[in-house]
Amino acid sequence: MKGEILFKNANLVDGRGEHGRADVLIGEGRILSLSGGEAPRVIEAAGMILSPGFFDPHAHLREPGQEVKEDLTSGLTAAAKGGYTDLVSMPNTSPVVDNAEIVAALKKKAASIGQARLHPAAALTQGQEGKILSEARLLREAGAVMLTDDGRTNEDAGVLAQGLQYAASWGLLVSVHAEDASLRRGGVMNEGEVSFRLGLPGNTGFAESARIARDLEIVRYVESRGSQEAGQRSRVEGRNTQVEGQKQTLLHVQHLSTRRGLELIRQARAEGLPITTEVGPHHLTLTDQSLNSLNPIFKVAPPLRTQADLEALIEGLLDGSIDCIGTDHAPHTQDEKELDMLRAPFGIPSLEICWPLLYTALVVGHGFPLHTLIERFTDGPRRILGFPPIHLTEGAQASLVLWSPGQERPVVPQSFASRAKFSPWAGWALRGWPSVTLVEGRVVYEQGAVQI
């Protein structure tokens, strides 16, 4: 059998488990064979792991209007370098992504760039002002996979309820930044011992849990009106149509940061409510103790919490209460992040290091099962958005990442493909760096050290 690329002696791991060593032949955008064949390009993958490509459900690429921070080319290149084959971009740009024309333009430009695939999220409300719903049907037809006012909190419960119902009727997921603005106030870090000692305004963890509690009640209300059935009878066909037999997610809680928020989500899921959630790499590896340095590089929304919160989130990721990893990649200019704690913007860039960071911290450092972590990077986000899983079987789509579990090197922000050349993990020695990323059989990233 002839193909285009042959990965020899690769160790196969996907969200279902570890599948041993194989010679993986790639051609026609798919896996042709797991028992070798002929190809003009041969990659010796002994000691390396081949997995499905990662899928990020939450990243900020800043285009249109904020290209000085990031643009589609730099962001999608950074994603491919990080092992991501797919990415959902947030709509809090300038102008806001709230109409079909902008969605279609983003899709067209991303396709021409030819790096990781872009799946735009669109605003739930016009201008993300929380008042008038955007046109879900038109946005869906243009290629939007999610509706969200991320970057702002949805303060009007009635608008959110209507939005959930309307979005579900077109097979679209609604995701929310779950913080009560009146409790968050002007907090720049977690409210607690560190903020009190530093004299900085704090953002209480109860701002998150209070808003999650309210939003869960809204989901119960919408469910009682039959919106779930309407969502399952969606009249629109597309790649993010729900997988057959799978219940549609109604509400997705972004960047979970607190133990109490997780407890509420666990309880709701036990009741069968159609909700999902994600966690970011920073909330799994950093705490508010980092802010003792007064360095705004650690300033993020929601803020870094306590060690107890961090440990609870890891447990939630392990037991499946947390469905997936969302980077919340949030690039800014160096000048912005060098302002003081009160004026610097919230946000951390992480697309290029999320996988090695969590592989090192969780699998190497804490014995987290490898296939479970891969599932949270691959099947988890795809399931939430209604995309079919990618598993390492013959005939499967060849959107894959080859990575090294043994190669260790430090985080060097200056080498990032992203325009944001800063990182709270700068200098950390990490393993698991991606070496080759394929999108439908096409190489979109290749580390120079790989011998081909």
Which of 56, 71, 215, 328 is catalytic? The answer is: 328
The three-state DSSP-derived secondary structure of the chain is: CECCEEEEEEEEEECCEEEEEEEEEEECCEEEECECCECCEEEECCCCEEEECEEEEEECCCCCCCCCCCCHHHHHHHHHHCCEEEEEECCCCCCCCCCHHHHHHHHHHHHHHCCCEEEEEECCEHHHCCCCECCHHHHHHHCCCEEECCCCCCCCHHHHHHHHHHHHHCCCEEEECCCCHHHHCCCCEECCHHHHHHCCCEECCHHHHHHHHHHHHHHHHHHHCCHHHHHHCCCCCCCCCCCCCCCCCCEEECCCCCHHHHHHHHHHHHCCCCEEEEECHHHHHCCHHHHHHCCHHHCCCCCCCCHHHHHHHHHHHHHCCCCEECCCECCCCHHHHCCCCCCCCCCECCCCCHHHHHHHHHHHHHCCCHHHHHHHHCHHHHHHHCCCCCCCCCCCECCEEEECCCCEEECCHHHCCCCCCCCCCCCCEEECCEEEEEECCEEEEECCCCCC
The residue assigned the tokens 């396709």 is 111
Query: What's at 186, amino acid-wise?
Result: G
Helices 157-169 and 206-224 pack at an angle, to 10 degrees, of 50
β-partners of residue 400 are 52, 438
How many other C-beta atoms can be found within 10 angstroms of the C-beta atom of residue 38?
11
**427 CB neighbour count, 10 Å cutoff:** 9
> How far apart are the C-alpha atoms of 62 and 294, rounded to whole Å?
26
- The set of residues, in sequence order, having a beta carbon less than 8 Å from that of 310 and lying 6+ positions away, is 283, 284, 285, 286, 287
d(C-alpha 156, C-alpha 203), whole Å? 21
The tokens 């200056």 sit on which residue? 414
Known catalytic membership, residue 319: no
Residue 218: count of CB within 10 angstroms of its CB: 19
Active-site amino acid positions: 328
